[in-house]
């Protein structure tokens, strides 16, 4: 080989084929989940704040442009019946519909539909065309509108342009800039495989998943395992929509409302389609599912494989969906692409929709197996009958359910921006009233110091109140003091007896000071940290901002809060039960949902251990002789060669043995040992173990602690 044709230095390292650390050591703890939104991937200037930029957007002009787009059919991707409404609704729906209640991940709040794997899921076929149709509008308005907002808004405008009175719309979704590679979408290795069930029962689906198969947003439109059976499908639909935070009425409304407009596409040979966008050739320029041998567009498009519209007027909001569903018998048949669908028997010619390209031809309407479930399942049928008999009620329920679907992962209403934000408060928005800031913080702090509460009581109660926050959907957190309400006040992770005792001490102090209980809980945590620093012979600077409010039981959807229950908390060295997942991996899960980086997670672990903040006052990992002092002792001892580490007789527990005496000095768990065994985490631990970094440890702990306490203070963001 000559110098001219030798391979450049990368040798394939920039492609997925290169051997990576994970390939060599697949069991090593992968910290990538804590770097999902690394600032280095963001092309915007460091001082750019989207939530400020969007406030200067010409909202009316943008909506007018979107209205015009709906009927501006492009030759390269023709609109069905000259209207892009169905396509834009599907894009918005599938952007938002990946949300799941269990961990708050997914949803349309980040614009993640632009990236793998979502941009290449089989269920998202041809949504790449919808985003490309939107590009001229995105280009025009630039930084003032995010892709995340634009994709959802396009669906809203589509419904409005077809006659639905929508419930409202809020801007404020910030784009991410690379794939969320470490979000768990399922264990399957093949698209549309099914490995997420422990049994035949729909409820046995692996948590936190909601969709029934890899690559689907909801359920298989052909039926369970691609076999028509509406009652089986009804069970899947109920489980899936419940895991996406929807009740039966909302489920029927969304199913019917989504299929009141647009059509399914399966008028061709699916085997002729090219690969998905992520696997496409470079000349395809990000497009996927291309048919390069036949027309493959317009009426010849193949997407789901089912073919046909659900109603007679697929570009109008009306009650046609229920009219057809209730007035005809239906039978299962194969589409031109070979997919199972339901078609009406002996339908009147005038009840058929016209062809999407040739109005002189009428086509057979269709229903999916999920549509048939809306009349075959007894509970769904009752709701469907009411919607059929009361179209106005149906439209209102759908509009509200659509708003919930597209806004659920935005968090509380105070994060909403724009002129169309609904005035009505909705229980799923986790509303918190504004708290008072007219009280003397120093006087309240002194009252807390004099209360008799100890460091453990104050620190752990504040932590437990704040740790429910989920960066994924902006739910939970200390604001609202919901830790005093059911079901939170009975969660095992919150130590109900201790919690009750602490709250009884703090409530009168809050009332006397004129402060909210939420503020008082957080302030007590700060007081506890100050006392712990004093025990270490140091002082700590903890900023505190007043203004948290106290939520009431009427403001709290108790059922939807159940998934926020902590079943593990590595920061407090606690597991509710044994899990197949390693404890250190569960720690990363909690840290990522809190929005923490790996260094922030590390410093918090060390400080919490030194203070003895473990659940139930367990001694595991409290690697210090001065428990209660906010010191870097955990790091000094986890990195010390004065000790050996050996498994003990207790499952998941290790003895810390002094080399000199051979005696057990302390005990620890895997969550503790990982900071000495994992090369990256050990590097962080060594920083805080250094003799010259004790002040850095205190400063970094204070910043990380304050970040957790203020995670849900959205009023401080703008």
Cα distance between residue 591 and residue 29, in whole Å: 14
Residue with tokens 């006659």: 163
- Taking alpha carbons only, the member of 366, 360, 253 closest to residue 304 is 366
Q: How many CB atoms lie within 10 A of CB 398?
A: 25
Cα distance between residue 479 and residue 428, in whole Å: 15
* Residue 353 token pair: 């929709």
Q: Is 471 a catalytic residue?
A: no
393 phi, psi to nearest 5 deg: -65, -45
The alpha helices in 538-639, defined as continuous H runs, are 558-561, 583-593, 598-610, 633-638
Query: Which residues make Cβ contacts (< 8 Å) with residue 172, sequence separation at least 6?
Result: 51, 54, 149, 410, 415, 416, 417, 418
Q: Give yes or no for a contact between 97 and 217, defined as CB atoms under 8 angstroms apart.
A: yes
Given the residues 83, 94, 456, 471, select the one marked as catalytic. 94
Is the backbone of residue 150 left (phi > 0), alpha (psi -120 to 50) or beta?
alpha
Q: Which residues of 77-102 are buried (b: 16+ CB within 10 A; e: fewer)?
A: bbbbbebbbbbbbbbbbbbbbbbbbe
Query: Which residues make Cβ contacts (< 8 Å) with residue 491, sequence separation at least 6?
Result: 565, 566
Taken in order 102, 103, 108, 113, the sign of the CA dihedral is negative
* Residue 240 token pair: 């899936």
How many residues belong to the chain? 718
Cα distance between residue 559 and residue 576, in whole Å: 20
Residue with tokens 């659920």: 408
Catalytic residues: 94
């Amino acid at each position: 080989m000559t110098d001219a044709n030798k391979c450049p230095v990368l040798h394939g390292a920039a492609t997925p084929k290169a051997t990576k650390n994970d390939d060599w050591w697949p069991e090593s703890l992968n910290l990538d989940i804590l770097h999902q939104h690394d600032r280095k991937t963001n092309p915007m200037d460091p001082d750019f704040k989207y939530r400020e930029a969007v406030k200067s957007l010409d909202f009316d002009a943008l909506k007018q442009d979107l209205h015009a787009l709906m009927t501006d059919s492009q030759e390269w991707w023709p609109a069905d019946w000259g209207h892009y409404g169905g396509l834009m609704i599907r894009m918005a729906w599938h952007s938002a519909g990946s949300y799941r209640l269990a961990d708050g991940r997914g949803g349309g709040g980040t614009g993640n539909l632009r990236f793998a794997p979502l941009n290449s899921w089989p269920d998202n076929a041809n949504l790449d065309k919808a985003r490309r149709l939107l590009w001229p509008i995105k280009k025009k308005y630039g930084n003032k509108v995010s892709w995340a907002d634009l994709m959802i808004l396009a669906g809203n405008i589509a419904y409005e342009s077809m006659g639905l009175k929508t419930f409202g719309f809020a801007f404020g979704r910030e784009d991410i800039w690379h794939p969320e590679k470490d979000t768990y979408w399922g264990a399957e290795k093949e698209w549309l495989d099914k490995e997420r069930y422990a049994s035949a029962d729909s409820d046995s689906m692996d948590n936190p998943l909601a969709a029934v198969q890899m690559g689907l947003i909801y359920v298989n439109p052909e039926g369970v395992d691609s076999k028509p059976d509406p009652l089986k499908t009804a069970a899947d639909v109920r489980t899936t929509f419940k895991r996406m935070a929807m009740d039966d009425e909302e489920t029927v409304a969304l199913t019917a409302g989504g299929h009141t407009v647009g059509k399914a596409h399966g008028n061709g040979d699916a085997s002729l389609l090219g690969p998905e966008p992520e696997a496409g050739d470079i000349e395809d320029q990000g497009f996927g599912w291309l048919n390069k041998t036949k027309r493959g567009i317009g009426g010849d498009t193949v997407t789901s494989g089912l073919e046909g519209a659900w109603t007679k007027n697929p570009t109008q909001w009306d009650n046609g969906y229920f009219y057809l569903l209730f007035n005809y018998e239906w039978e299962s048949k194969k589409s031109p692409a070979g997919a199972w669908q339901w078609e009406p028997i002996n339908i009147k010619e005038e009840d058929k929709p016209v062809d999407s390209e040739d109005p002189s031809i009428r086509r057979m309407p269709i229903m999916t197996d999920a549509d048939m479930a809306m009349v075959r399942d007894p509970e769904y049928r009752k709701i469907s009958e009411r919607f059929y008999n009361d179209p106005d009620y149906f439209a209102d329920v759908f509009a509200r359910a659509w708003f919930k679907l597209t806004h659920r992962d935005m968090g509380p209403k105070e994060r909403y921006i724009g002129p169309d934000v609904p005035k009505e408060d909705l229980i799923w928005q986790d509303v918190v009233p504004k708290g008072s800031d007219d009280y003397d913080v120093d006087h309240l702090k002194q009252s807390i110091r004099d209360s008799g509460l100890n460091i453990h009581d104050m620190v752990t109660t504040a932590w437990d109140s704040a740790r429910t926050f989920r960066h994924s959907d902006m739910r939970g957190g200390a604001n609202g003091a919901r830790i005093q309400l059911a079901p939170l006040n009975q969660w095992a992770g919150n130590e109900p007896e201790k919690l009750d005792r602490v709250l009884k001490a703090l409530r009168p102090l809050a009332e006397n000071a004129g402060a909210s209980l939420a503020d008082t809980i957080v302030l007590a945590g700060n007081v506890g940290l100050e006392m712990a620093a004093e025990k270490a012979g140091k002082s700590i600077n903890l900023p505190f901002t007043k203004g948290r409010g106290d939520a009431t039981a009427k403001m709290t959807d108790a059922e939807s809060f159940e998934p926020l229950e902590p079943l593990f908390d590595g920061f407090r060295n606690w597991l509710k039960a044994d899990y197949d997942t390693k404890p250190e991996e569960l720690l990363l899960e909690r840290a990522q949902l809190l929005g923490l980086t790996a260094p922030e997670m590390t410093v918090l672990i060390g400080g919490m251990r030194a203070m003895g903040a473990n659940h139930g006052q367990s001694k595991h990992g409290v690697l210090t002789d001065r428990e209660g002092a906010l010191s870097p002792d955990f790091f000094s001892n986890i990195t010390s060669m004065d000790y050996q580490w050996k498994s003990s007789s207790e499952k998941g527990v290790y003895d810390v043995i002094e080399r000199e005496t051979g005696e057990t000095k302390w005990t620890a768990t895997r969550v503790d040992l990982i900071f000495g065994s994992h090369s990256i985490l050990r590097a962080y631990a060594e920083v805080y173990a250094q003799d010259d970094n004790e002040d850095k440890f205190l400063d970094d702990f204070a910043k990380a602690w304050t970040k957790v306490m203020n995670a849900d203070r959205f009023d401080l963001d703008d």
